[in-house]
Amino acid sequence: MVFNSFTFLIFFAVVFGLYWLLPGWAARKWLLLIASYVFYGAWSPPYVFLLLASTFLDWWLARLIGRSADPRRRRWLLVASLAGNLGLLGYFKYGSFLLDNFAVLLASAGIAWQPVDAGIVLPIGISFYTFASLSYTIDVYRGEMRADSKFSDYALFVSFFPHLVAGPILRARNLLPQIAAPRRPTLNEVGWGLALFCFGLFCKVVMADALFAPVVDEVFAAPGKFGAADTWAAALAFSGQIYYDFNGYSLCAIGLALCFGYAFPDNFRHPYAAVGFSDFWRRWHISLSTWLRDYLYIPLGGNRGGAWRAGRSLMLTMLIGGLWHGASWMFVLWGGLHGFYLWAERLLQRNGAVAPDEGRQRLRQVLTFVVVTLTWIPFRAPDADTALGILAGLFRSGLPPMLDLPGLAAIAAMIFTVAWHMSMRERRFEPVIAAWGKSRQLATVTGCLAAMYLFSGGDQRAFIYFQF
């Protein structure tokens, strides 16, 4: 049941209507909890019990941590939470990956062994709800939160359907207080929430799927067939596809939550206007980058201990962040490259080689975007051969352009996107739209709906981050 499906629209309409009809706050929360489990069960009913077990484990362990004054016991309870969550994540997401690589290692030593196919199916959203749930027990252990939430409230925090399967990765400290306090959305909140949902679907259906995806799919399927112009068009197109796909989902999630009166944090802030890679990660997938910073980078040492230790912490954090995206060495490579960029940038800044200079900001923005675009190649490529083929194609001459209008449209749309991000770099989306006035807002929403209707034919694509 994806957001860009008729089934989900019916589901949302029923839940939203019942939410407004129910008189009590407790009843409305129970409605959202049941609806969230129905939503998740529509993907794979057996994994509802996995979600419930993971939720109960962290809620119970957090209560034990909160009640204990013994530092040693608190530490072991936290270890139990980490082991339970990461154990489930490791089994379902990385079990086959580890066995396959172990078989390769044995083969290099002359030992033939083929692991049995266990038929493991990755539960959708497990990477997202595991990180959200873990943040609660860690915050309670650190004394930053009280473990006094009711189980039903905590279960709603973990499973609330707008963010459940692909984020944003919420923190309990942000959402649990909203769940605890009675709320009913205003008409303005509902209107803005529906508008954000519409904008998000437009980003997904029109921009990501109709405009960018065909160019990306054609070139990445056979990189040796295409010359430099087409390959660059595909690389730029994937920068657009991944942004509009994931930002589109985030806008949908934020808008849906707002329709029920809940405020989710922004997940993107014009990332292709970033000046450097630290700035990029302050703007891209913000809920993940801040989670990695607070629960991994800082505990590893953060900025303490000199350049070497900080660089090591950065590399480990980004390698794990890459692996979080999927059980593939290509994701590890992608994360490692970003770790290297961040480390190198920090060393240059410490040595005064990257001093603030307004005159060079635009050049640094363009350079950051180009390097980020090139680094998306291993993220998109299914294997090293495809990635190397795409990189070689960026410099291949002698082949005429084959994509014609679709490739040109993708390039033009990406130029517009980068220019839009640069013009909006220090501004928020909401005030700009609010200043347009009702008639222009209505015309924009109507235009988005019309475009979605025109481009909604063909195969329905799931959001890219559903696979993570």
Q: What's the confidence (pLDDT) of residue 357?
A: 60
Q: What's the confidence (pLDDT) of residue 358?
A: 61
Assess whether 153 and 210 both reside in one domain. Answer: no
Q: Name the nearest CA neighbour of 322 among 331, 312, 314, 311.
A: 331
- Average pLDDT over the chain reads 91
The verdict on whether omega for the bond into residue 168 sits within 30 degrees of 0, i.e. cis, is yes
**Length in residues, the chain:** 468
| Stated pTM of the model | 0.93
Assess whether 281 and 418 both reside in one domain. Answer: yes
CA–CA gap between residue 369 and residue 276 (Å, rounded): 9
Domains contained in the chain, number: 2
Residues with catalytic function = 325
CA–CA gap between residue 18 and residue 347 (Å, rounded): 56
CA distances from 149 to 31, 158, 181, 440 (A): 18, 12, 12, 43
**pLDDT above 80: residue 400:** no
Assess whether 399 and 298 both reside in one domain. Answer: yes
Assess whether 399 and 302 both reside in one domain. Answer: yes
Q: Which residues span the domain enclosing 83?
A: 24-183
Assess whether 143 and 260 both reside in one domain. Answer: no
Assess whether 28 and 168 both reside in one domain. Answer: yes
The single-letter DSSP state of residue 327 is: S
Rg (Cα) of the chain, in Å, rounded? 23
406 and 234 Cβ atoms separated by less than 8 Å: no
- Given pLDDT bands bounded at 50, 70 and 90, which one contains residue 465? confident
| Boundary residue ending a domain (160, 183, 206) | 183
Q: Residue 8's Cα: distance from chain center in Å? A: 20
Whether residue 200 lies inside any domain: the answer is yes
CA–CA gap between residue 77 and residue 62 (Å, rounded): 8
Whether residue 10 lies inside any domain: the answer is no
| Boundary residue ending a domain (158, 183, 208) | 183
Q: What's the confidence (pLDDT) of residue 12?
A: 96
CA–CA gap between residue 314 and residue 340 (Å, rounded): 8
Q: pLDDT by residue (tens digit) across 78-111?
A: 999 999 999 999 999 998 888 888 888 888 888 8
CA–CA gap between residue 258 and residue 247 (Å, rounded): 16
Rounded to 10 deg, the angle between the 47-67 and 71-89 helix axes is 170
Q: pLDDT by residue (tens digit) across 209-262?
A: 999 999 999 999 999 899 999 999 999 999 999 999 999 999 999 999 999 999
CA–CA gap between residue 220 and residue 57 (Å, rounded): 42
| Boundary residue ending a domain (118, 150, 183) | 183
CA–CA gap between residue 465 and residue 249 (Å, rounded): 9
Q: What percent of the chain has pLDDT over 70?
A: 97
Q: Residue 210's Cα: distance from chain center in Å? A: 21
Whether residue 5 lies inside any domain: the answer is no
CA distances from 218 to 86, 334, 375, 429 (A): 37, 22, 19, 33
